């Protein structure tokens, strides 16, 4: 099968943009493979899940059904951290719920001498993160641990920075688009109207952060007031907020102020 034939089949199934991305990023174009991918497109499976890759912060990441696809909104979180790191700063970073590892990989690629730990409760997600860490040659900078953040585990060290894009969609939220149904539920949904993960982080992250360290969180649309209240009640200081490219409040930055 020629590229043009493959493009035509994929375009009919999923549109010109999907066809272009797939043909540009697929090495072997066979009739069986193309028709299978066309079937996936018609089922609404995201292109990233079909070709198993997604670009994030200028880096290519492997993704599969066990991980949340990296999203442009989350680049706001990475930019917020990078903007706070002075040239002489060599932070030790903890990434809560790492998924593909895109956040901590992007940080360690863009902050000289940054290093850290990535945790996730999914063994399968950790395998994906390790694959991406190897791809970007960051094995000496990032270690991975299969662990939850709903209790004050002892990591054997404390951190200058904690980052997290936790699950924050309320169960039953009708606004979730069809593409998200192909992401793992544990990476999307949280109890207590989407706030449960933030409550866990507010309670436990104080044990992992150095005095005057900073905590960077991604939040969902219109969640700012509720999340701020959760952390302020736990004694965290709100430093600032960051909006994404759509001018939606997307990132909250807190500080651990007391020794």
Tens digits of per-residue pLDDT, 125-142? 999 999 999 999 999 999
- Residue 35 buriedness (CB in 10 A; 0-12 / 13-18 / 19+): middle
pLDDT at position 180 is 67
Q: Which residues of the chain have pLDDT under 70?
A: 174-180, 257-259
According to the model, what pLDDT value does residue 134 have?
A: 98
CATH architecture, range 72-255: 3-Layer(aba) Sandwich (3.40)
The pLDDT of residue 184: 85
Query: Is-contact 232 212, C-beta < 8 A?
Result: no
Q: What would the pLDDT profile of 158-205 be if each residue is shown by its tens digit?
A: 999 999 999 988 887 766 666 667 788 888 878 888 899 999 999 999
- pLDDT reported for residue 177: 61
DSSP, collapsed to helix, strand or coil, labels residue 66 as coil
Q: Which pLDDT does position 33 carry in this prediction?
A: 86
The DSSP string of 101-138 is SHHHHHHHHHSTT-EEEEEES-HHHHHHHHHHHHHTT-
Residue 105: closest CA among 73, 139, 80, 72: 139
């Amino acid at each position: 099968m020629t590229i043009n034939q493959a493009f035509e089949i994929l375009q009919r199934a999923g549109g010109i943009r999907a066809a272009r991305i797939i043909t540009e990023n697929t090495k072997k174009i066979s009739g069986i493979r193309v028709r299978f991918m066309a079937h996936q497109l018609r089922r609404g499976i995201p292109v990233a899940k079909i070709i198993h890759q997604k670009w994030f912060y200028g880096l290519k990441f492997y993704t599969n059904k066990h991980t949340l696809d990296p999203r442009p909104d989350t680049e706001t979180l990475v930019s917020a951290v990078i903007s706070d790191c002075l040239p002489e700063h060599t932070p030790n970073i903890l990434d809560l719920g790492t998924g593909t590892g895109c956040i901590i990989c992007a940080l360690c690629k863009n902050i000289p001498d940054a290093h850290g730990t990535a945790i996730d409760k999914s063994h399968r997600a950790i395998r994906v993160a390790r694959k991406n860490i190897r791809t970007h040659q960051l094995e000496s900078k990032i270690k991975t641990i299969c662990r939850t953040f709903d209790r004050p585990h002892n990591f054997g060290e404390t951190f200058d920075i904690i980052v997290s894009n936790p699950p924050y969609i309320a169960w039953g939220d009708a606004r979730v688009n069809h593409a998200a149904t192909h992401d793992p539920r544990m990476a999307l949904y949280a109890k207590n109207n989407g706030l449960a993960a933030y409550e866990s982080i507010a309670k436990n992250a104080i044990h992992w952060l150095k005095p005057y360290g900073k905590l960077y969180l991604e939040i969902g649309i219109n969640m700012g007031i509720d999340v701020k209240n959760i952390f302020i009640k736990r004694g965290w200081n709100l430093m600032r907020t960051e909006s994404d490219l759509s001018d939606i409040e997307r990132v909250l930055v807190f500080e651990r102020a007391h020794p």
